[in-house]
Amino acid sequence: MGIGIIGTSVWQQNMPLLESLTLDREQRASILNELKTTLGLSELVYLGTCNRVEFIYATPEKNDNKQQLHGLIDFFFSDGKSINFFPNEFYHYTGKDAVTHLFRTASSLESLVLGENQITGQIKNAHQDAIDDGLSGPELDGLIREALAISRKVKSKTEISKGAVSMASLASSELCKALEQTEKPNIALVGSGPMQGKLARYINDNLSASLLFVNRTVEKAEKLAEEFGGKAVSLDQFKAQPAVVDAIISATAAVDPIFSCDFLGKLERNGKHVVCVDLAVPRDFSPEFKDQSQVTLIDIPHLKSKSQGSLRQKFVEAGKANEIVRAAVDKYLSSRIEVSYKPLFNDSYEESMELAQKMLGDLFSKRVTSLGQEDQDAVLRTVTKLIGQSTFGPLKKLSRQIIDEQPETSSEDMSMRYREAM
Q: What is the pLDDT of residues 159-206, one digit of tens each?
A: 888 765 677 888 888 898 899 889 999 999 999 888 888 899 989 988
What's the average model confidence in pLDDT over 226-240? 95
Helix (H, G, I), strand (E, B) or coil at 3: strand
Report residue 218: phi and psi, to 5°: -65, -25
- Grade residue 275 by pLDDT with cuts at 50, 70 and 90: very high
Q: How far apart are CA 78 and CA 7, in angstroms?
A: 18
- Provide the pLDDT for residue 301: 84
- Provide the pLDDT for residue 422: 31
What is the dotted CATH code of the domain comprising 167-309? 3.40.50.720
- Domains of the chain, residue spans: 2-163+409-421, 167-309, 331-404
Domain 2-163+409-421 architecture: 2-Layer Sandwich (3.30)
Degrees to nearest 5, angle at CA 236 with 235 and 242 = 75
DSSP conformational letter for 232: E
- Grade residue 361 by pLDDT with cuts at 50, 70 and 90: confident
Helix (H, G, I), strand (E, B) or coil at 273: coil
Q: Do residues 245 and 203 make contact, with C-beta atoms less than 8 angstroms apart?
A: no
Q: How far apart are CA 199 and CA 173, in angstroms?
A: 10
140-150 pLDDT tens trace = 999 999 999 99
Q: What is the pTM of this model?
A: 0.69
Write 81-89 long-range contacts (CB < 8 A, 24+). Answer: 81/20, 83/16, 83/17, 83/20, 84/16, 85/14, 85/16, 85/17, 86/419, 87/418, 87/419, 87/421, 87/422, 88/415, 88/416, 88/418, 88/419, 89/8, 89/12, 89/13, 89/14, 89/17
Q: How far apart are CA 196 and CA 30, in angstroms?
A: 28
Does residue 82 surpass a pLDDT of 80?
no
